[in-house]
Amino acid sequence: MMAATDQSKTKRKRKKGQEGIAILMVLIALAILFPFTASFNYKARVDWQSAINHGDEVRARAVQRGAMQLSVLMFELQRMVFNQKQFRDMMGAMDITMLAPYLMSIFGTTDGAEGLGALVGLDTSSLNELALDGGGSFEVRLEAESGKINVNCLAIEKDGDNSPRARVTETLEALMLPKLYDPLFDEEKSDGERYNRQHVLQAIVDYIDDDTKRFDAYRLRQSSQDERYGYTELHDPYESRDARLDSVLELHLVEAVDDDWMAAFSGDLTVYGGCKVNLNFASPEQIAQVLRHAVSGADRWKTEGDNFLMMTMPLANFVVESREFSLFDKLEDFKALVAKPDQFVNPMSLFGDSSEDDDYAANLPKVPDGMEVRVKGGSNNDGASWGGLQDVATVEPERIYRLEIITTVGSVRKRLTAVYDIQYARNQSAGKGTWLYYRED
C-alpha cells in the first residue's frame, strides 16, 4: 500500500515538472517570435505608408503638370489679349500677374472661387465645381522677371551716364543700403573675413565682367588693379565666370556671397530680360535710380545725399503702391504721376472732419513731394547732357515670367519653379512660347 502511494506521488511530481517545462518552452517560443512579429508589423506599416505616399506622389505630379498647362493658358491670354494694342487702348495696360492668383485658385482649392467673387463683386460659388476633387490642392505664384535686377547687365559697359553696369551697381547698392542688413556685413564669414557692401558689389561685378581688372565700386568703373580672388587656389578650384550667368544660384561662387546674402537678396535678382527698368514691375530701388537719372536740373537736389532716402525713396514707394491696379501705358503717365503725386491719391481717403476725430490727420495718406523728370535725354551746344526716361526705363508688356507651383496631396508637398518666355519663337512647332528654366523640389 505504501509503495502505491509513493508511485502516485512520484507521477504527480513528474507531471508538474513537465508542465513547468511546457510553460518555459512556450515563453521561449514567444520570446523568439515576438521580435519577428513586431518587425513584420513595422515593415507592413512602412510598406503601407510608402504605398500611400507613392500614390500621393503620383497624384501630386499629375496635379503639378496640370497646373503648368493651365499656366500656359494664362500666358497665351497675356500674349493674345492683354498685349494687343486694341485691348490696351480700350481697357488700359493690364498684366496676367494681377489676375493669376484669383484665376488659378478656382482650380487649385475648393473655395478658391470666393476670392475671385470678392474681386469682381459677383457670386462665383458655381465655379467651385471646377476645383480639384480628391484631397489635393495647388497654389500658383507668378512674377514678372523684368521687375527684378538683371545681374547680367553688369557685363555691359558703356561710356557716359547711361551705363547698364553703373546703373545696376547703384541699384544693388540701394538694395543693400538699409541698416536692417548691417549684420550681414558686420559678422565674420566662414573664411574668417568680414566683407562690407562695396566689397560684395566689387566681387560680383568682377566675377561677371569679361576683363581682368578690379572694379571700383566708388567710381563705378574699372581700376588699374588686377583681379585677385583666389578661386583657383581653393580645395575645389574654379575660374571666374567672366560672362553672363545662366542662373542666379551661380552667385554662390562669388567671394563674400554666402547663404545669408542669397536668402536676403536673391529674390530680387534675375538673369533674364533686358537692362532697361520696366516701370510697371520694378522695385522701389530700381524706380529710385530711374528718378535719379531722369530728374530735371531744378529737382536734382531731391536725389542727392540724404535726400535720396528722405525724398526719392518715398516717391518710389508711392509709385509702387499707385500702380497696384493701374499700370503705366506710356512713359508720360509715369512722368505725370511723379510730378504731382497728390493728384493721384484716392479722393475718398481725404474726406472727413479732423475736429471730430483726433486721429484723422495721422491716418491720412502721406503723399511725398513730387519731382519733374524728363522723358527724353539730350545735350546742348556746351556739351552738357541730361538723362531721360527713354534711356533707362520702359513700360512695354512683360515677356518673361517666373512661375512657382506648390502642390499638396496628402502628406506629399512638391514645389516647381519655372521660367516661361511668351515671345520665344519655337523651331520645331508652330506658335510662340517656351520654358527657359524648370526645377522640381
229, 256 in Cβ contact below 8 A?
Answer: no
Q: Return d(Cα 249, Cα 241) in angstroms, integer.
A: 13
At 128, the pLDDT band (50, 70, 90 cuts) reads low
Q: Return d(Cα 430, Cα 441) in angstroms, integer.
A: 31
Mean pLDDT of 155-163: 72
129 with 78, same domain? yes
The grid coordinates of residue 167 equal 546703373
Averaged pLDDT score across all residues of the chain: 82
In a domain, 35, yes or no: no
**Could you tell me if residue 410 is left (phi over 0), alpha (psi between -120 and 50 degrees) or otherwise beta?**
left
Looking at residue 126, its amino acid is: S
Last residue of a domain, one of 218, 252, 274: 274
Per the listing, cell 557716359 goes with 160
What pLDDT, in 10s, does the model give residues 219-267? Answer: 778 888 888 888 888 888 999 998 999 999 999 999 989 999 999 999 8
pLDDT at 348 over 50: no
Query: Domain of 244: which CATH number?
Result: 1.10.40.60
Per the listing, cell 545681374 goes with 151
Q: Return d(Cα 50, Cα 288) in angstroms, integer.
A: 53
The grid coordinates of residue 112 equal 478658391
Mean pLDDT of 175-184: 88
Looking at residue 416, its amino acid is: L
In a domain, 42, yes or no: no
Which comes out higher in pLDDT, residue 19 or 178?
Answer: 178
269 with 152, same domain? yes
CA dist list (Å): 101 to 109, 390, 414: 11, 32, 18
DSSP annotation of 295 reads B
Task: Give the closest residue to 424 by CA, choosing from 439, 416, 436, 412.
Answer: 436
- With H, G, I as helix, E, B as strand and everything else as coil, classify residue 423: strand
269 with 280, same domain? no
Q: Which is it for strands 393-394 and 277-278: parallel, antiparallel or unpaired? A: parallel
Backbone angles phi, psi at 62, to 5 degrees: -65, -40
Per the listing, cell 565700386 goes with 217
pLDDT at 11 over 80: no
Task: Give the closest residue to 401 by CA, choosing from 424, 378, 375, 370.
Answer: 424
pLDDT at 293 over 50: yes
Indicate the range of 29-33, 119-123, 272-276 predicted with least confidence. 119-123
Handedness of CA 14, 15, 20, 26 (dihedral sign): positive
Q: Return d(Cα 160, Cα 171) in angstroms, integer.
A: 17
Determine the pLDDT at residue 354: 46
pLDDT at 349 over 50: no
433, 421 in Cβ contact below 8 A?
Answer: yes
In a domain, 20, yes or no: no
Determine the pLDDT at residue 151: 93
Last residue of a domain, one of 274, 289, 309: 274
Q: Return d(Cα 138, Cα 354) in angstroms, integer.
A: 47
252, 262 in Cβ contact below 8 A?
Answer: yes
Determine the pLDDT at residue 263: 92
157 with 269, same domain? yes
Which residues 6+ apart lie within 8 Å of 328 measured at CB?
Answer: 93, 279, 280, 334, 337, 395
Last residue of a domain, one of 220, 241, 274: 274
140 with 154, same domain? no
227 with 306, same domain? no
In a domain, 121, yes or no: yes
pLDDT at 433 over 60: yes
In a domain, 24, yes or no: no
157 with 270, same domain? yes
In a domain, 16, yes or no: no
CA dist list (Å): 157 to 31, 175, 254, 300: 79, 21, 20, 25
The grid coordinates of residue 308 equal 535720396
Number of domains in the chain: 3
C-alpha 396 chain-centroid distance: 21
What pLDDT, in 10s, does the model give residues 294-346? Answer: 899 899 999 988 888 899 999 999 999 888 878 999 999 999 999 998 887 75
431 with 330, same domain? no
In a domain, 129, yes or no: yes
Mean pLDDT of 290-295: 90
At 193, the pLDDT band (50, 70, 90 cuts) reads confident
- Domain residues for 413? 56-146+404-440
- With H, G, I as helix, E, B as strand and everything else as coil, classify residue 84: coil
Q: Return d(Cα 289, Cα 312) in angstroms, integer.
A: 9
C-alpha 121 chain-centroid distance: 30
At 417, the pLDDT band (50, 70, 90 cuts) reads very high
108 with 188, same domain? no
CA dist list (Å): 400 to 147, 272, 392, 433: 10, 7, 19, 10
Share of the chain above pLDDT 90, in %: 26
pLDDT at 93 over 60: yes
241, 250 in Cβ contact below 8 A?
Answer: yes
Which residues 6+ apart lie within 8 Å of 314 measured at CB?
Answer: 366, 368
Share of the chain above pLDDT 70, in %: 83
280 with 268, same domain? no
In a domain, 219, yes or no: yes
What pLDDT, in 10s, does the model give residues 350-384? Answer: 444 444 555 544 555 578 889 999 988 877 666 66
Backbone angles phi, psi at 413, to 5 degrees: -130, 120
pLDDT at 130 over 90: no
CA dist list (Å): 162 to 148, 157, 257, 294, 440: 19, 9, 27, 11, 39
Which residues 6+ apart lie within 8 Å of 57 measured at CB?
Answer: 409, 412, 414
Mean pLDDT of 43-64: 86
Both ends of the chain: CA-CA distance in Å? 90
178 with 248, same domain? yes
118 with 155, same domain? no
Task: Give the closest residue to 81 by CA, choosing from 73, 404, 142, 429.
Answer: 73
Task: Give the closest residue to 167 by CA, choosing from 4, 341, 294.
Answer: 294
